[in-house]
Amino acid sequence: MKSEPLVLGIETSCDETAVGIVRGRVLLANVISTSVEEHAKFGGVVPEIASRAHLEAMQPTIAGALKIAGVALSDIDAFGVTAGPGLIGALVVGTSAASGLSLATGKPLFGVNHLSSHVAVDILDNESALRPSIGLLVSGGHSSILRIGDMVSDVETLGATIDDAAGEAFDKIARILELDFPGGPAIDRLAKSGDATAIDFPRGLTRPSDNPWDFSFSGLKTAVSRYIQSAPSAVKADIAASFQEAVVDVLVTKALAAAASCGIDRLVIAGGVAANSRLRELATARATAQGVELRIPPMALCTDNGAMVAAMTSLALSAGAAPSAVGLGADSTSGLERAIWR
Amino acid sequence: MNTLVIDTSTDRTTAGLVSDGVLVVEKFHDDPLGHSEVLPKLVAEILLSNPVIDSVVIGMGPGPFTGLRAGIAFGRAFAFARNIPWRGVSSLDAIASEINSTDFIVATDARRKEYFYARFTDSARVDGPHVALRQVVEELGIEMHTGFPTALALSALQGSIAQPLYIRRPDAYPAPKGVTFRPATAMDAVALHALEKVIYSGEDPWSLAQFKEELGAGDRYYLIALFEGEVIGYAGVMVAGDVCDILTLSVLSAHRRKGIAREMLKRMIDWSRNRKVDAIMLEMLVGNREAEPLYLSQGFRKIAERADYYGPGKPATIMRKELK
Ligand SMILES: [Zn+2]
């Protein structure tokens, strides 16, 4: 019996240079090299610095993943790479390196969608098949609600942020509150000692006339800055808790409304913001009440990683999808019109 | 011995095969974008008839960042996967090696109205590589050549360069440790005025009353940079109808060239963008060589000059960046 295909996936869409190796649905290695410390110096991801770091880290990260998986590059049956969406200069390092590996070995290459990969990672080391799901992606780079009928052929974006990403909002508010970067963990920590009901911050795009699945966080950001200006002696922890509650409430409400509307009983939350303790708490409580199965992959598979790209590629292989053409192009603004690059 | 040669440092993506010093095949495609898409196709064509490769030579630039990295990432990964050696060489040196002259400059397009360039005398690089405004390079008055590196010239160069020749610093680079930024309040007027007098001594500094009025007025955003508790820079922007206008951007001379002005400018741009205006504008003393590259790098373009704007004989350049 032929064993499951061995797949190596590369992810470079933002500031993590990441390589994952899977055999079928079994995770063998998930190595991440991040330039987050360099970005911390000026409170956000700087594209050019991320791209330079990707080039530096690419080979050591591939070599590290091979070593951990205990396989040789010549054993790999297929390569996968994030082809979009993401920072264009960062994506190009990944697609170029992946093209080099594919041409050198003669093994197929699949350019895959970063957003769907975030959900696809849930197949790894998991008994249950990937049933139709709603994906809630929340990170510094994206805030979207996806509907996944079939991972390879039926995925659509129901809604996305029209301005800041959820994680970005956390970073910006952390900056205003003079907390550390990245802002998510800092606010989560501070919020634990604050009163989430102290200030009633606005919930973006929740009027009946708004697109029910889109997000907006810039109004909330402005409201928080105004509040701090008008009440300079306010308790920071209360501001952090109330801000966090406003973000998390909207995320969970919209994702579960999408599940109900699509008749789907499974919700996958992924992206760095999935680490937020209040988001987990509220999502668990409300999903249970609605009879929706909630899945949050382990954190190492939740933030940007290479295993999710390998998992998505593995799904493409088992579905019999054709590999991407030689010289696949990175697409920084790609939506979900393509899960696999032609 | 078959050497695969790759260069993506110019608008031309080049891939070639050189065997023991003889060119077997060379393929190229001219397009300032799309190096990452073109290169694998060119290499795939070469591999069809020449599957055995013994080493890789990669042009390391200087060149525009994204295209340059596409070639280096591809070439290194290819060598890694085949378990063969790779070697980086200077793309400018390769162009120079095919020019028959004794004293000249080789310049390639660095975008943003700039050139990457180096000077060669008697077949040796004597200065550079550097990056500078095209006008500055042209004013050197030295015989100037442009061109593309060929596979044969690249493979004939000796030595090995491990890192890309970026030359230019990243668009944003770390502000020195310990610099923080915060919005200015009316309480900061005295400190800003004191700093203004130091930075603009003899150049008509704003008065304390002006600072108080500015910091209290609406539709404005003032930002200050602090280092070890001391104010070392400040910037301000205001909404003026459909555009935002940068009112000041000043950094104490001891703290310049560390990315502080750049960071403040970016925040001014972000603030203006959130105001949904059409564009952001600023005025600059004509010929301000220190400020001009910063503004150009952030997407500002010169749209007009105003005579005597900063006083008799001191014209201003008006610059504008579209935000829509
Ligand atoms: Zn992501």
Chain A CB contacts of B36 under 8 Å are 92, 95-96, 99, 327, 329-330
Please report the ipTM that was assigned to this predicted complex: 0.89
Residue A110 lies in a domain: yes
Domain shared by A78 and A171, yes or no: no
Substitution target in B69, B163, B181, B271 with the highest count of A β-carbons within 10 Å is B69
Provide residues of B within 8 Å CB-CB of chain A.
34, 36-41, 43-44, 47, 65-66, 69-82, 164, 166, 170-175, 177, 180, 182, 259, 263, 274
Domain shared by A142 and A173, yes or no: yes
CB of B112 closer than 8 Å to CB of B118: no
Could you tell me the distance, in angstroms and rounded to a whole number, from the CA of residue B267 to the centre of ligand 1? 25
Domain shared by A308 and A163, yes or no: no
For chain B, which residues make up each domain, given as ranges?
Answer: 2-156, 179-322
In one letter, which amino acid is A146? L
Q: Of the given ranges (A102-116, A123-137, A187-201, A310-324), which has the lowest mean pLDDT?
A: A123-137
A193-250: per-residue pLDDT in tens? Answer: 999 999 999 998 888 888 899 999 989 988 998 998 898 888 999 999 999 999 999 9
Looking at the complex, report in whole angstroms how far the Cα of residue B309 sits from the nearest Cα belonging to chain A. Answer: 35
Residue A149 lies in a domain: yes
Q: In what side-by-side order are the strands of the sheet with A6-11?
A: A26-34, A16-23, A6-11, A78-84, A109-113
Mean of pLDDT values over B172-187: 71
| Pair of tokens at residue B76 | 């290194």
Say if residue A2's pLDDT is above 60. no
Q: How high is the pLDDT of residue B209?
A: 87
Residue A162 lies in a domain: yes
Distance (Å, whole) CA A292 – CA A258: 11
Q: Average pLDDT over chain A, rounded to whole? A: 91
Residue A334 lies in a domain: no
Could you tell me the distance, in angstroms and rounded to a whole number, from the CA of residue A158 to the centre of ligand 1? 17
Q: How high is the pLDDT of residue B257?
A: 77
* Percentage, residues of chain B above pLDDT 90: 53
Residue B222 pairs with which residues in a beta bridge?
B236
Mean of pLDDT values over B293-309: 87
Residue B285 or residue A192, greater confidence = A192
How many CB atoms neighbour CB B217 within 10 A?
Answer: 11
Domain shared by A251 and A193, yes or no: yes
Domain shared by A210 and A182, yes or no: yes
Distance (Å, whole) CA A252 – CA A274: 11
N residues, chain B:
324
Q: How high is the pLDDT of residue B297?
A: 82
Say if residue B12's pLDDT is above 70. yes
Domain shared by A307 and A228, yes or no: no
User: CB-CB: which of A52, A97, A178 is closest to B74?
Assistant: A97
How many CB atoms neighbour CB B178 within 10 A?
Answer: 9
Distance (Å, whole) CA B111 – CA B62: 12
Domain B179-322 coded CATH 3.30.930.10: no
A256-274: per-residue pLDDT in tens? Answer: 999 999 999 999 999 889 9
Is there a contact between A58 and B73 if contact means CB atoms under 8 Å apart?
Answer: yes
**Tokens 């935000």 — which residue?**
B323
How many CB atoms neighbour CB A139 within 10 A?
Answer: 24
**Tokens 């937020």 — which residue?**
A276
Looking at the complex, report in whole angstroms how far the Cα of residue B53 sits from the nearest Cα belonging to chain A. Answer: 9
| Pair of tokens at residue A41 | 């110096």
Q: Average pLDDT over chain B, rounded to whole? A: 90
A169-193: per-residue pLDDT in tens? Answer: 998 899 888 887 778 999 999 999 9
Domain shared by A56 and A75, yes or no: yes
Distance of CA B139 to the CA centre of its chain: 20
Which CATH code of 3.90.950.10, 3.60.110.10, 3.30.420.40, 3.40.50.1100 fits the domain covering B2-156?
Answer: 3.30.420.40
Distance (Å, whole) CA A85 – CA A141: 9
**Tokens 């799309």 — which residue?**
B34
Say if residue A1's pLDDT is above 60. no
CB of A5 closer than 8 Å to CB of A151: no
Is the pTM higher than 0.80?
no
Looking at the complex, report in whole angstroms how far the Cα of residue B34 sits from the nearest Cα belonging to chain A. Answer: 8
What backbone torsions phi and psi does residue B96 show, to the nearest 5 degrees?
A: -60, -35
Chain A CB contacts of B79 under 8 Å are 104
The number of folded domains in chain A is 2
Residue A27 lies in a domain: yes
How many CB atoms neighbour CB B287 within 10 A?
Answer: 9
Residue B173 or residue B262, greater confidence = B262
Looking at the complex, report in whole angstroms how far the Cα of residue B75 sits from the nearest Cα belonging to chain A. Answer: 6
Q: Residue B56 carries which DSSP code?
A: E
Residue A340 lies in a domain: no
Domain span including residue A101: 6-122+302-318
Confidence band of A130 (pLDDT split at 50, 70, 90):
confident
Find, among B146, B95, B149, B148, the residue nearest to B123 by Cα: B95
Chain B CB contacts of A104 under 8 Å are 77-82
**Tokens 């001191």 — which residue?**
B314
Per DSSP, the three-state class of A124 is coil
| Pair of tokens at residue A278 | 């209040």
Distance (Å, whole) CA A331 – CA B240: 36
Substitution target in B37, B86, B267 with the highest count of A β-carbons within 10 Å is B37
